[in-house]
Amino acid sequence: MRIAVVLDDKCSPSRCSYECINYCPRVRTGDETIVKTEDGIRISEELCAGCGICTVKCPFDAIKIINLAEELDKDLVHQFSENGFRLYRLPVLHEGMVIGMLGANGIGKTTAIRILSGEIIPNLGDYESASSWEPVLEQYSGTAMGDHFQALSQDKIETSVKPQYVDKIPAHYSGEVEPLLQRVGKDYMHWVDILDIEHTLDSSVTNLSGGELQRVAIAAASTKEANIYFYDEPSSYLDIKQRLNVAKAIKEKSKESPVMVIEHDIAVLDFLADNVHILYGSKGAYGVVAHPKSVRRSINTFLNGFLDEENIRFRDSEITFHKHAPRGHIHHEPLVTYGRLVKKWDSFQLETKPGEIPKGEVVGIVGANATGKTTFVKMLADVIKPTEGEIETNVLVSYKPQYIKPNYPGRVIDLYRTEIYNALDDGLYQAEVLRPLDIEPLYEREVSTLSGGELQRVVIALSLGREADLYLLDEPSAYLDSSRRMDAARAIRRYMEKSESAGMIVDHDVYFIDYVSDLIMNFSGEPGVRGIGEGPFEMKDGMNKFLKDVGITFRRDPDTNRPRVNKLDSRLDRKQKAAGEYYYTS
């Protein structure tokens, strides 16, 4: 084993007392293991003994000391700086296939795409010299990756990349959608039709919703004439039907050219990809690209958390799903009862049928975007009032909105001490929420500096920390990577069970909804015009109703019991549709 030392941007001289230097035993003997710089500190990996004292003394969790296997030395692809992130190995493209990447945020998936697309020339660990193709071509000579880099270096292949953060597109382009797509390629109307974005052509990019921006970005990337296509998180902001529609379109694209996809919705990845590379490592420190496996084996391995061939455990515990669709829960007395509700806006109307939310149950809410799911939850939270009808409840409600803004002027721990002081000492809350969501390392961070995923975790924990009878969580999986999504789903589920509270969860990730829900509420109608809410139904009945509208069927994986999308028009798909079993059979 050898030592790698990694520093992140939390190492800041403006707020640091340099306790890491003061306590380092090697520094006290006179060597230069840790040196102050204008940007913070620099740690010599050659001199560092790996004792770990500096990581304990750093109040900002900015230092990571990692034991790396010696055999990874020859696989180092890129290193950003002396104590910066490093990527080992690369995923491999294949003709006629969709290659997926699955792993946590911050361990190199986007970096791999930037290298394979030619945006970054890999430095093979030589971060001090200017990157050039010569050592890369020598390193990979005689391999398929070498041929790929040779073609990139000679500008013989064109690549197309759908970026990860589509919400940044308006900062770079503010015109209408159609001129943008025309500029990219002449075949743009084909993708406009497939992705159902004709209504956006005359709209300014700055006026598009997140889902519309995502589909425009996918259309632009797909329209471009290229030899290889890369799609970085194509399902973000999309509802389930739109996600599967995009997946079908990307899969069709792979018949023409190699395709690589980063995707955190495991059900979509399962439906879309042929082979998948799992990435493991430490966020912001290093990432290792595991060897490819079939999509089923990769996802099962990911849920298990252990790579047999590399003898690596990358998750503390296995994620398991229930075997049968109906959970067989005990019916509790109603906590909240409501009759027919109507909410009218200038251009949209929502109608929900009478229903009730039982005590101690979790209701999953599914449906297309813009059919009123968030409006309904806001009425339950008393954020908005129904135009017609009443909600009978005198319960305490905790509400996590769909869109969260980091508007608290302080640290995470200050926010928690202000809002949920009593919960911080509660053993159940610590064990089932704070630890699974990995909140403690964020305590000293300023709320305004958190990433989207970090902020989501903080707000989920904040919402569950409030004393309430009913917890309303709107899209808690947004911005979370695959691992964090399953951690959050498990935390929500276990906390609801042990606190005997009721919950309503709006989400578009089928795995997330399947994991947390006892009951299902369906929203349908004409998006942006009229929405209809029905339920809650028993899990199987509600999912059958929803999936029939989407036009897909699910089965259970025999090894992990996870839900899997059946291939469209396959024997099993036809059989289940004929029997009315769109949700997996028990």
User: What does pLDDT average to in each consecutive run of 10 residues of the chain (586 residues)?
Assistant: 75 77 82 82 84 83 76 83 91 94 93 96 92 94 94 95 89 88 90 92 90 93 95 92 91 93 94 95 90 94 89 82 53 86 93 92 92 94 93 89 85 94 93 94 90 93 95 94 91 89 93 91 92 93 90 89 88 93 77
Q: pTM, whole model, 2 decimals?
A: 0.85
**DSSP track, 191-244:** HHHHTT-GGGTTSBGGG--HHHHHHHHHHHHHHS--SEEEEESTTTT--HHHHH
Q: Cα angle vertex 388, ends 386, 390, to 5°?
A: 70
Q: Which of these three, 313, 345, 367, is where a domain ends?
A: 313
Does residue 323 lie within any of the structural domains?
Answer: no
The pair of structure tokens assigned to 11 is 């190492």
Please check whether residues 511 and 381 belong to one and the same domain.
Answer: yes
Does residue 14 lie within any of the structural domains?
Answer: yes
Question: Around Cβ 163, how many Cβ atoms within 10 Å?
Answer: 16
Does residue 444 lie within any of the structural domains?
Answer: no
Distance CA(380)–CA(403), nearest Å, equals: 17
Query: Mutual orientation of helices 482-499 and 452-465 as an angle, nearest 10°?
Result: 0
Nearest to 197 by CA among 224, 166, 220, 175: 220
Distance CA(247)–CA(229), nearest Å, equals: 14
Does residue 216 lie within any of the structural domains?
Answer: no
Distance CA(211)–CA(167), nearest Å, equals: 10
Buried b / exposed e over 435-459, threshold 16 CB at 10 Å, is ebbebeebbebebeebebbbbbbbb
Q: What is the pLDDT of residue 402?
A: 87
The pair of structure tokens assigned to 312 is 């690596």
Distance CA(568)–CA(546), nearest Å, equals: 16
Please check whether residues 255 and 285 belong to one and the same domain.
Answer: yes
CA 169 to chain centre: 19
CA dist list (Å): 172 to 72, 112, 234: 39, 24, 19
The pair of structure tokens assigned to 501 is 């509270």
Total structural domains in the chain? 3
The pair of structure tokens assigned to 313 is 């455990």
Please check whether residues 371 and 244 belong to one and the same domain.
Answer: no
Does residue 441 lie within any of the structural domains?
Answer: no
Total length of the chain: 586
Please check whether residues 283 and 145 belong to one and the same domain.
Answer: yes
141 by DSSP, 3-state: which? coil
Does residue 421 lie within any of the structural domains?
Answer: no
Please check whether residues 57 and 83 belong to one and the same domain.
Answer: no
Domain CATH number, residue 127: 3.40.50.300
Please check whether residues 145 and 112 belong to one and the same domain.
Answer: yes
Does residue 207 lie within any of the structural domains?
Answer: no
Q: What is the pLDDT of residue 198?
A: 93
Q: Which of these three, 68, 100, 120, is where a domain ends?
A: 68
DSSP β-ladder status, 159-162 and 228-232: parallel
Question: Around Cβ 212, how many Cβ atoms within 10 Å?
Answer: 22
342 by DSSP, 3-state: which? strand
The residue type at 115: I
The residue written with tokens 């998750």 in the block is 315
Q: What is the pLDDT of residue 328?
A: 46
Please check whether residues 340 and 287 belong to one and the same domain.
Answer: no
The pair of structure tokens assigned to 241 is 């039907």
Nearest to 211 by CA among 373, 369, 365: 369
443 by DSSP, 3-state: which? coil
Please check whether residues 83 and 61 belong to one and the same domain.
Answer: no
Please check whether residues 37 and 153 belong to one and the same domain.
Answer: no
CA 327 to chain centre: 26
| CA dihedral for 562, 568, 569, 570, sign (positive or negative) | negative
Q: What is the pLDDT of residue 330?
A: 56
Nearest to 520 by CA among 498, 510, 371, 501: 510
Please check whether residues 376 and 243 belong to one and the same domain.
Answer: no
Q: Which of these three, 313, 342, 373, is where a domain ends?
A: 313
Parent domain of 117: 73-158+226-313
Please check whether residues 132 and 7 belong to one and the same domain.
Answer: no
Nearest to 265 by CA among 31, 21, 17, 513: 513
Buried b / exposed e over 396-426, threshold 16 CB at 10 Å, is ebbbbbeebebebeebbeebbeeebeebeee
Please check whether residues 404 and 497 belong to one and the same domain.
Answer: yes
Nearest to 449 by CA among 404, 412, 478: 412
- Give Dmax over CA atoms of the chain in angstroms: 78
* 8 A C-beta contact, residue 371 and residue 239: no
* 8 A C-beta contact, residue 424 and residue 416: yes
Distance CA(419)–CA(445), nearest Å, equals: 17
